[in-house]
């Protein structure tokens, strides 16, 4: 098995996918992973409209054909009629991971009361973890890293702290993070020697 983490990044927006405005979600995610990961990774990116059938087909393709261990969507999780990302995600799921959605809303509530309007979900399809993220770059970063106190300590843990161990458990590669961005949590029995940084 390859040690390279394959990440599917899916930005879901009618207007961005039709060229009305520039997509901000994919660049924000790519930049975040560039800073957060110390182990090898590569991304498969998709920019698609808010169409449930298209979202479902994209998620299935990234999990089953492209072999992505982790698939992150951005956009389409609110209560508006065109927001169907959670429905599409649940439709392709083999297992639902409710803790991710609960934690994403907890993080959001540390910043805005409207976070309760988000319907983000986390699921597993085969050996892939699929997570729905918010659409704005600032909210994407906060969701992954968590909410911090003024001194920089973590007030509400971000969801990515749990992702590497989840990927371990479903048969994916071992993920090392830059702890200054986000510290991966694993039980001691699941930890390996950390990658030596280049001198």
* Residue bearing tokens 């600032």: 138
- pLDDT score at 81: 94
Domain presence at residue 133: yes
**Residue at token pair 């599409």:** 88
**Is the residue at 121 inside a domain?**
yes
Output the DSSP codes for 56-106: HHHHHIIIIIS--SEEEEES--SSSTT--HHHHHHHT-SEE-HHHHHHHHH
User: What's the token pair of residue 140?
Assistant: 């994407």
Let me know if residue 198 belongs to a domain: no
119 within a domain of the structure (yes/no): yes
Dist. CA 24–CA 2, nearest whole Å: 30
Give the number of domains in the chain.
1
**pLDDT the model gives residue 154:** 86
Domain of residue 124: give its range.
5-190
Global pTM?
0.94
196 lies in a domain?
A: no
Mean pLDDT of each 10-residue bin along the chain, 199 residues long = 90 90 93 97 97 98 98 96 97 98 95 95 98 94 92 90 98 96 93 59
**pLDDT value of position 194:** 59
Residue 95 forms part of a structural domain: yes
| CATH number of domain containing 155 | 3.40.980.10
The reply to whether 36 falls in a domain is yes
32: in domain: yes
């Amino acid at each position: 098995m390859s040690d390279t983490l394959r990440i599917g990044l899916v930005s879901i927006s009618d207007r961005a996918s039709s060229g009305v405005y520039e997509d901000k979600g994919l660049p924000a995610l790519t930049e975040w992973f560039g800073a957060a990961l110390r182990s090898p990774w590569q991304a498969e990116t998709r920019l698609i409209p808010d169409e449930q059938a298209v979202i479902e087909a994209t998620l299935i393709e990234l999990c089953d054909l492209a072999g992505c261990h982790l698939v992150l969507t951005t956009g389409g999780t609110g209560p508006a009629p065109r927001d169907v990302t959670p429905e599409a995600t649940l439709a392709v799921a083999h297992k639902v991971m409710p803790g991710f959605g609960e934690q994403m809303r907890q993080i959001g509530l540390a910043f805005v009361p409207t976070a309760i309007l988000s319907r983000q979900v986390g699921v597993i399809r085969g050996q892939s973890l699929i997570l729905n993220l918010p659409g704005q770059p600032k909210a994407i970063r906060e969701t992954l890293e968590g909410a911090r106190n003024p001194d920089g300590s973590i007030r509400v843990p971000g969801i990515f702290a749990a992702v590497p161990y989840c990927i371990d458990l479903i048969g994916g590669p071992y993920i090392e993070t830059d702890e200054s961005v986000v510290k991966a949590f694993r039980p001691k029995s699941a930890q390996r020697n950390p990658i030596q940084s280049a001198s």
